[in-house]
Structure 1
Amino acid sequence: MKHLVAIVGTNSKLSTNRQLLEYMKEHFKQQAEIELIEIKGIPIFKKSAGMQVPEETRKIAAKIEQSDGVIIGTPEYDHAVPAALLSLLAWLSYGQHPLVDKPVMITGASFGTLGSSRAQAQLRQVLDSPEIKARIMPSSEFLLDHSLEAFQDKEHLVNKELADQLDGLFKDFIEFIDISSQLGNAHTANKQQAKDFSWESSDKKER
């Protein structure tokens, strides 16, 4: 059975993105063990002279390293990824790089009709950056709109079409993890490139 970590991409106490990940944890428990990770209390990213990172982010990095894959549930604030989630990703690409070549599935829920579509597109760009280099499952956008009315209870989505879509995407993600495990020939080099990358040195070269 696969072990996955699911990052709740918000520090909000009441979040339908958290509710969606909790639904997935219960609904897919026969296919994978899903551990939810909260980002509440993670300090805003700030560079330090010794590249010191908060202990909380070290623990999250270790869990990601040990996992078979990662699910990220992102809300959309002002057509963008929440600052708290971006801050976590910055910490996870600063002296530690657990997401390099790690299979990632993105989900998103919103109160309105868009289902965090713009935030998901932005998140894909961030995860594909030179310092992160995650392996994002292609063509896998899951958008849960009108999320306040989306759940009948913790174990049921009201919209059967969306529930069936999520079932299919999750099955694809499990297969994507298996495929990704065969694509590790460049992993050591990718990891080293992520560690060596510096926007500052790139800027100097361009000048």
Structure 2
Amino acid sequence: MAIKVAAIIGSNRKESYNLKLVDFMKKRYADQLDINIISINEVEMFSVDIENNPPKGAMDFKLQVRNAEAVLFAVPEYNFSIPGVLKNATDWLSRSGNDLVGKPTFIVGSSMGVLGSVRAQIHLREIITNPALQPKLLPGNEVYIGAIHTKMNEQNEITDEGTATFLDQVVTNFVAFYNNAK
């Protein structure tokens, strides 16, 4: 049975390459991962003033993560870090239920630049190691896809064989990690 994965797209861009990447993963690994793509576009800005009574967008987001068996973050890089909308979403996950604690998690990221969101993923890893978040993060399987626009066709399929093979291995490793984490 496929693992129910909440895929958090760290961008609110309509033509996000990270959204396209996760869409590719959803199709390619459907027999292993039941990926539910979660938009963070409707998640209201976090404030301590409303944390104990989260508004609808934040609560819906939190429930989707809470009800998943695992989490996938797809991270773009903005100004050497994660986008503000993703930071806001992680702030909500750390409050009123600690929805990410102990949940098997992995991270992928892509960009048009050569580094493929390396700095953003470093920052995200720092953020989610906070005691209020603490997922069980897949170690040693960093996915940094640089020049994504040259490795994907118009149907959002990864056409670069090396990249596809690497993703295959990371997914295999995550499934084994998930099964061992149970």
In the alignment, which residue of structure 1 is the partner of 2:55?
Answer: 54
Calculate the TM-score normalised by the size of structure 1: 0.83
Change (3 A) 1:42 1:50: closer
Deviations 1:82-121 (A, max 9, x none): 1100001101112121100001110001011010001111
Change (3 A) 1:104 1:142: same
Contact 1:128 1:135 in 2 (8 A): no
Taking every aligned residue pair, what percent have the same amino acid on both sides? 28
Contact 1:127 1:136 in 2 (8 A): no
Change (3 A) 1:28 1:129: same
Residue 63 of structure 1: CA displacement? 2.1
In the alignment, which residue of structure 1 is the partner of 2:128?
Answer: 127
Show structure 2 runs of 5+ residues with no match: none
Q: Which amino acid aligns with 1:104?
A: T
Change (3 A) 1:30 1:61: same
- Flag the structure with larger Rg: 1
* Misfit runs of 4+, over 4 Å: none
Show structure 1 runs of 5+ residues with no match: 182-207
Change (3 A) 1:49 1:8: closer
Calculate the TM-score normalised by the size of structure 2: 0.94
**Distance between the aligned counterparts of 2:146 and 2:87, measured in 1?**
22
Change (3 A) 1:32 1:112: same
Residue 49 of structure 1: CA displacement? 6.1
Residue 153 of structure 1: CA displacement? 4.2
Residue 52 of structure 1: CA displacement? 2.2
Residue 156 of structure 1: CA displacement? 3.0
Give the 5 Å matches for 1:183-202: none
Paired residue total? 181
Taking only aligned residues, the RMSD between alpha carbons, in angstroms, comes to 1.4
